[in-house]
Structure 1
């Protein structure tokens, strides 16, 4: 004779009651699965109250109703208990201990992980660009990049043997050394300059020739070309 619902203590969490009732009826999980039509692993998850092993809470409610009906338990009460237990999951091994504190699951708001990834990318890009404004990846001590927002009209006075590449509007600039190594490759803001001694073997590429000037010492040689016209591999060693 199968036990009645009164044989299961109502004070236990639902998962423990389901397991106790199944064992009292002499059923294995496989037997219970055939009886109620719910997968065996889902029934085990209900007994352990392992929400992560269920497709969704909505499916879980349907499984609870089918499982409770197959075991002869009150289906509506079982569903209500499942909802209650899902709010504050129980640690079934320690629920009777005097200092037991139910564990809450930490759930991030929907969309938090993609938003955090975008924020991290923005921070990394900002840090990279800030470093690039202050330094140049070159071992040549005669090469310098500067930016003086208070002196937009002309670069700081320099010696006659100093070549200055200066932007009058934002433009992408790339510079390679005599070995073809890329030492500058980024957008220069208005008024930013790159300098080296004249006669050195550097090649210059710009996206907007009209936004880039060449200076030798304090003499302005003018823009590299017409506005909006790109230039590739300009030999700076011939500029005197």
Structure 2
């Protein structure tokens, strides 16, 4: 998906354009593009493209609006008015979005020497099979008892006076898997992207305040968001909390490790509380 705001009508760069408003506010505060990028943790190229209103240097529309919100708030501007003005000046739906196809798998080829080893092993197995059949046909088991006599001989019947215990029958069966799907809820407007273990995009859009997204119950999920402090996550019935600090931009956060770290911290806190409540000797 390398389309970049194709044929997007851009307003003339006058004093009232979004780019000029951002640039003038930055200069008024006395910040350079580098210092603004360091403070907002947004790439310098994106800030420069926003100020120049150059859609060729911007990511997808959803991420561009997320960066615009963060940058405008940092410059103490009216965020809602700038976002509405930007949507009018740049009427498009897609930009340089990340590829949504699964990651390319490496082609596996057997070395030439392995093919020869497989051929030799197949020959050995074939020879062993032939030898076993030949020995059977030549009377290796000639002295074995007649199966008909074995079937005719009555076998003693063992009677049990105790009925089987149902609890023992079902004791080792696996229990049902409890759902642990992750649910992301937006505290304030935020752009969320969720990918599976293969890199395929499962969800990518802007969530309004109070909106939620329930991810599939599978391992290897990665999350990218424009504001970690604006996303609250829940695993099953457990409320884990926000994904990070307010204004922090997340890029490919591995949710398996994030949830495991939270559970480890909870276990350590519980153990510490139990030790503190125990009477001293």
TM-score of the aligned structures, taking structure 2 as reference length: 0.27
With a CA cutoff of 8 Å and minimum separation of 6, indicate the structure with the bigger relative contact order.
2
Q: Which structure dedicates a bigger proportion of its chain to strand? A: 1
The structure having more radius of gyration, on CA atoms, is: 1
